[in-house]
Amino acid sequence: MDIKATLTEIATLSIEDRIRLVQAIWDSIAAEQMSPDLTDAQKQELDRRIDDDTTHPDNTLTWEEIKTSIQGQR
């Protein structure tokens, strides 16, 4: 496959068609790799976070509280 020629041909498409093409490519990639392989460190971190959430269910912030906190740091 000649990538350069393919990109040249893609450039002739309308923006709408190029967006559709990107979405189709992304969907095909996602379909092949539904669940990414996690490293052991990532698995351990997820387990730690789940345990923390189970142990401290009230230690959470709403999305509004997070946004307010971030906006206050500017």
The Cα angle at residue 60 between residues 57 and 61, in degrees rounded to 5: 160
- Sorting pLDDT into bands at 50, 70 and 90, what band is 31? confident
What are the extents of the domains in the chain?
1-36, 37-74
Question: For residue 74, what pLDDT is reported?
Answer: 67
List the helix and strand counts (H, then E) for the chain.
4, 0
pTM for the structure as a whole: 0.43
How far is it, in rounded angstroms, from Cα 45 to Cα 54?
Answer: 14
CA 11/CA 6 separation, integer angstroms: 9
Which is more confidently placed, 20 or 73?
A: 20
Q: Would you place residue 11 in the very low, low, confident or very high pLDDT band (cuts 50, 70, 90)?
A: very high
Q: Which two tokens stand for residue 63?
A: 């999305």
User: Span 2-11, mean pLDDT?
Assistant: 94
CA distance 38 to 65: 30
